[in-house]
Amino acid sequence: MDVVEGIKRGDRRALARAISVAEGGGAAPLVSALFKETGRAFTIGITGPPGVGKSTLTGALVTRARKEGKSVGLILVDPSSPFSQGALLGDRIRLSDHFTDPDVFIRSMASRGHLGGIAGATGDAVMLMDAFGKDLVIVETVGVGQSEIEIAEVADTTVVCLQPGSGDSIQVLKAGIMEIADIFVVNKADHPMAGQLRREIRVMMTMLDWQGWAPALVMTQATAGEGVDQLWQALWSHRAYLQESGELRVKRASAFAHEVRNLIVGRLAGAVDGAMAAAAVSGLMEQVADRVLDPYAAAEQIFQRFDPKAPHSPGARLAPRVRATVKGFHKASETETAHHHKMIV
Amino acid sequence: MMSMPTHTFRIVVAKPGLDGHDRGAKIVARALRDAGMEVIYTGLHQTAEEIVETAIQEDADVIGVSILSGAHMTIFPKLFGLLRERDAGDIVVVAGGVIQSEDVPRLQEMGVSAVYDAEQPLQALVDAVTRLAAERRVRLGL
Ligand SMILES: Nc1nc2c(ncn2[C@@H]2O[C@H](COP(=O)(O)OP(=O)(O)OP(=O)(O)O)[C@@H](O)[C@H]2O)c(=O)[nH]1
Ligand SMILES: [Mg+2]
């Protein structure tokens, strides 16, 4: 299957396969071939703690978008099990109204060890859906509690969802999520504490000095579709702001710079693994273990001989010391580990 | 580079028909996850059309259909018809749940690659899905 031609033709199987190739670490030729077709989609990130209603709200947004005739691509990220590398991807359950709509493409994605709240291949998948011609690409992150804020690198507009009665506003303050929110949503507005959370967020917003765009605050009841019109409007207001102020280009340029850096770091990580394996073979690491050589001196020696262009041979990697294995679970495959590398750091 | 294998098998676990609970399907889904697979769980009451579209968009290796009532003799012909129509006949289909043993040969004739009832050990199902998914990848050169 020529997935590039398939994507240009609008073949859904080709798009699906291309995303799998990207997940396997093979995005480079696809992105190279399709990059000129990208940059048109409005990309939206939906993030927030587990169970806040991200999937339900995403479903309601898709319904709204379809009413306007806009096509939608969805990427729904859930965590992989650190033990088995498997994943239970259940966000789709809340999107069943859209399963057979030819203008909606839904892809569940496991984080595969990536820690930023999205998967290593999420950005590539967004690009592929953009090239496919989707008007909107919406990414639902892993249910985050801490500082998983990478979504802001991938999305033009980031929606942070919170729910009443959960101490969410404190979390937000602590975790630095405040800074990535273009729009705050207080979902479950039917909850008696919703008004209080709204006030808390208002107060928090006065504590930061906003330049250009101060986050919008929208109350929703996703299960009833309430507040979704207001959210839709807030999304397009932010979109208009980004375009008129020139911020969109600045934002994307900085995200690309970040991505390019990550790609280089990923390649370097492979070379570092090779150098470490060679150092182990030459007995250098033994010397450290015997306390003959200190870790800084060992690193210096390896660095002086370091060849960043040394081909990455995954077989040469040092396996992390495994302290215990769970019965029946198996280790990460080579490609997953390599992929993991490419993305983290 | 293009066809770097992922080794991570993907399976859609679907629960068609009208019967109301999916405990069995969820147990199976968890076992497959614990065996290292990415399991796309779609919830209750799926139609054949919804299952096939989901499997295509998720680039699934396998569709696992959980059946409790006698609905399987109508769902499977529809499912295979749609898979063929959408050029997705390479996706492996397995069935599980409460299935009369006299129905098994007919299901296999329709194209179901493996049939499991709740009496069999879960590991047998996990092993079969793993083997079928691996064979499919080899067949397609993925
Ligand atoms: N009362 C009320 N319940 C809601 C509302 N929105 C969603 N829920 C419920 O909250 C639960 C979680 O909803 P999801 O949409 O799955 O939440 P999520 O944030 O996607 O969850 P994860 O992906 O697991 O992090 C479900 O039972 C929803 O029905 C709402 O506005 N009001
Ligand atoms: Mg969700």
- Answer yes or no: do A223 and A139 share one domain: yes
Tell me if B38 and A93 make a contact (CB, 8 A cut-off).
no
Dump pLDDT digits (tens) for B114-128.
999 878 889 999 999
* Region A248-257 average pLDDT: 94
pLDDT for position A189: 96
- Answer yes or no: do A316 and A190 share one domain: no
- Answer yes or no: do A199 and A119 share one domain: yes
Is the minimum distance from the CB of A222 to ligand 1 under 6 angstroms?
A: yes
- Answer yes or no: do A107 and A169 share one domain: yes
Say if A9 is an interface residue toward chain B (CB within 8 Å): no
Question: Within a 10 A sphere around the Cβ of A258, how many other Cβ atoms?
Answer: 13
CB pairs under 8 A between A and B: 113
| Chain B residues with CB-CB distance to A16 below 8 A | 56-59
Tell me if B32 and A86 make a contact (CB, 8 A cut-off).
yes
Say if B87 is an interface residue toward chain A (CB within 8 Å): yes
Q: Please report the atom of ligand 1 found closest to the CA of residue A52.
A: 19
Q: Would B115 be classed as within a structural domain?
A: yes
| Chain B residues with CB-CB distance to A19 below 8 A | 59
Q: Would A1 be classed as within a structural domain?
A: no
Q: Would A141 be classed as within a structural domain?
A: yes
Q: Which of A56, A92, A108 to mutate to test the pocket of ligand 1 (most atoms within 8 A of CB)?
A: A56
Q: Which of A217, A245, A273 is the last residue of a domain?
A: A245
Q: Which ligand is nearest to the CA of A48?
A: 1
Confirm whether pTM is higher than 0.80. Answer: yes
Dump pLDDT digits (tens) for B77-106.
999 999 999 999 999 999 988 888 888 898
Strand ordering across the sheet containing A72-78: A104-110, A72-78, A136-140, A42-47, A157-162, A183-186, A216-219
Paired with A89 in beta bridges are: B40
Q: Would B71 be classed as within a structural domain?
A: yes
Dump pLDDT digits (tens) for B56-79.
999 999 999 988 766 667 889 999
- Answer yes or no: do A262 and A216 share one domain: no
Helices (H) and strands (E) in chain B, counts: 5, 5
- Answer yes or no: do A105 and A166 share one domain: yes
Say if A17 is an interface residue toward chain B (CB within 8 Å): yes
Average pLDDT score, chain A: 87
pLDDT for position A94: 95
- Answer yes or no: do A307 and A273 share one domain: yes
Q: Would B66 be classed as within a structural domain?
A: yes
- Answer yes or no: do A185 and A317 share one domain: no
- Answer yes or no: do A81 and A182 share one domain: yes
Is the minimum distance from the CB of A223 to ligand 1 under 6 angstroms?
A: yes
Tokens encoding A118:
């999205």
Contacts of A113 (CB under 8 A, 6+ apart): A80, A82, A85, A120, A332, A336, A340, A344
Q: Which of A72-86, A176-190, A325-339, B127-141 has the lowest mean pLDDT?
A: A325-339
For chain B, the domain total comes to 1
Is the minimum distance from the CB of A94 to ligand 1 under 6 angstroms?
A: yes
pLDDT for position A113: 86
- Answer yes or no: do A193 and A324 share one domain: no
pLDDT for position B138: 94
Tell me if A17 and B59 make a contact (CB, 8 A cut-off).
yes
Q: Would B52 be classed as within a structural domain?
A: yes
- Answer yes or no: do A336 and A188 share one domain: no
Q: The domain containing residue B17 runs over which residues? A: 10-140
**Euclidean distance between CA atoms A51 and A69, whole angstroms:** 29
Q: Residue B69: give its domain's CATH number.
A: 3.40.50.280
* Region A215-221 average pLDDT: 96
Nearest CA in chain B to A98: B50
For chain A, the domain total comes to 2
Q: Residue A56: give its domain's CATH number.
A: 3.40.50.300
Question: Within a 10 A sphere around the Cβ of A290, how many other Cβ atoms?
Answer: 9
- CB-nearest partner of A84 from B4, B10, B34: B34
Helix (H, G, I), strand (E, B) or coil at A23: helix
Q: Would B2 be classed as within a structural domain?
A: no
Q: Would B3 be classed as within a structural domain?
A: no
pLDDT for position A345: 26
- Answer yes or no: do A294 and A319 share one domain: yes
Q: Would A207 be classed as within a structural domain?
A: yes
Q: Would B1 be classed as within a structural domain?
A: no
Length of chain B: 142
Tell me if B38 and A20 make a contact (CB, 8 A cut-off).
no
| Chain B residues with CB-CB distance to A81 below 8 A | 33-34
Q: The domain containing residue A101 runs over which residues? A: 39-245
Is the minimum distance from the CB of A51 to ligand 1 under 6 angstroms?
A: yes
Q: Would A147 be classed as within a structural domain?
A: yes
